Amino acid sequence: MICGNCLMCRTGRYNLCPFRKGFGYGVNGAMASYVKVPARCLHAIPESLPFEIACLTEPHSVAYQAMCINSHIRPGDVVVAACTTECEDGFFGELLATSLRARGALGLVIDGGCRDVAELEQMDFPVFSRAVHAKGTVKATPGSVNVPVVCANVLVNPGDVVLADADGVVVVPAAKAAGTAEAGELREAKEEDKRRRLAAGELGLDIYDMRDDLRSRGLRYVD
Model pLDDT, residue 11: 75
Q: Going from the N-terminus, what domains does the chain have, and what CATH number goes with each? A: 1-42 (no CATH), 45-172 (3.50.30.40), 177-216 (no CATH)
Distance of alpha carbon 205 from alpha carbon 73, whole angstroms: 49
In this structure, what are the phi and psi dihedrals at residue 151, rounded to the nearest 5 degrees? -120, 120
Mean pLDDT per 10-residue section of the chain, whose length is 223 residues: 78 73 78 82 83 77 66 87 84 90 92 93 95 81 81 91 94 94 94 94 91 89 73
DSSP at 188: H
Whether 89 and 137 have beta carbons less than 8 Å apart is answered as yes
Q: What is the pLDDT of residue 135?
A: 84
Contacts of 99 (CB under 8 A, 6+ apart): 60, 63, 64, 66, 67, 68
pTM for the structure as a whole:
0.63
